Amino acid sequence: MVTPREAAGRSGCTGKGGAGWRSACGALLAAVTLVLVSCTRVGVPVSGTLIAPLVTATAVEDGGTATPQGGPPPGISLDRTYAVVWVPEGETLAVREPAGISGAVVGILGQDQRGLTLTGNVSRLGSSVWVEVNRPGGGKGWVNAWNLTEEVPPEAFCGDDRVLSLLAELQRALKEQDGVALAGLASPKRGLVIRHAAWDIDVPLPEAALPELFDNPKERRWGYRRDNNMPIEGTFREVILPELTDVFEASPTISCDNLVSGVSASDVRWPTDLTNLNYYGFYRPAEEGGAPYDWRAWAVGVEYVDGEPFIAILVQFQGEI
């Protein structure tokens, strides 16, 4: 882990991507004047006692009968390998036969399982999509497609200049409050998920809601305050946008598959349920001479859909006393 003092003092790019990484990093520095630091895979959750439990953003299960259909839907490719995501720490993903939550469990997948391939069989149950996977060690079975993401090695991710362009466009969309642009950056598979704190609930925003997100008067529950468990409620503009702006318009330090952080009573780690999702961290340090806990960071989880990178989740981190 790079210390905040070391990170703030750097002006170059280092990582696992070689020459391509340095070239792509230079493009981002020119576009958004950010500092990029080392690429290190981290898969440990934020520690500490949870007041509000983690609630993962799962697809809605409407019931019905699984009906295999002739080929995968958009975003499900037979020529790619997949990894498990959005499975809480200590839990596993059940593989079922037939598809659906009523199907018998014929196997389990760990929350960090990688290297999965698909058979091509797909079933739709209400609003959810189930896919048949080849089980490690032999056999087949069904899982909810929400819990799969295209597997991309960290080295390839950190060297992908398309991701840097995606991040530059995210910064522009936030600065200009351009909901249409934001919608074009979000994962077509799951929209945009916002996690106000790494330990807190997920708030899934469907792609159709994003064009009007900045001006939408709808109040939402974004999570809970850790000190008193009181809900955090309000519009996106009132609650989330100022906290995003606080980081993205502050010339933050950024890092690939690694979180730079300030002083905190609890460890700052990428959530375990997102272990197989690559991300960039954006860190705004505390003011010199001010309270050391007054720092903020956002991590941008990136998902590939049909080989193209999109933003899947925004996760916030702050200093805790």
pLDDT at position 199 = 93
Lowest mean pLDDT among 65-69, 103-107, 166-170, 204-208: 65-69
| Fold that domain 69-150 belongs to in CATH | SH3 type barrels. (2.30.30)
Top-confidence residue, 290 or 151: 151
Q: Kindly state the average pLDDT of the residues 251-259.
A: 95
pLDDT digits (tens, 9 = 90+) for 186-196: 999 999 999 99
pLDDT digits (tens, 9 = 90+) for 100-126: 999 999 999 999 999 999 999 999 998
Q: Is 114 helix (H, G, I), strand (E, B) or coil?
A: coil
Q: What is the pTM of this model?
A: 0.80
pLDDT at 74 over 80: no
Local confidence band at 321 (pLDDT 50, 70, 90 cut-offs): confident
Q: CB of 251 within 8 A of CB of 33?
A: yes
Q: Where in the chain is the domain with CATH 2.30.30.40?
A: 69-150
User: Distance between alpha carbon 17 and the CA centroid of its chain, in Å?
Assistant: 21
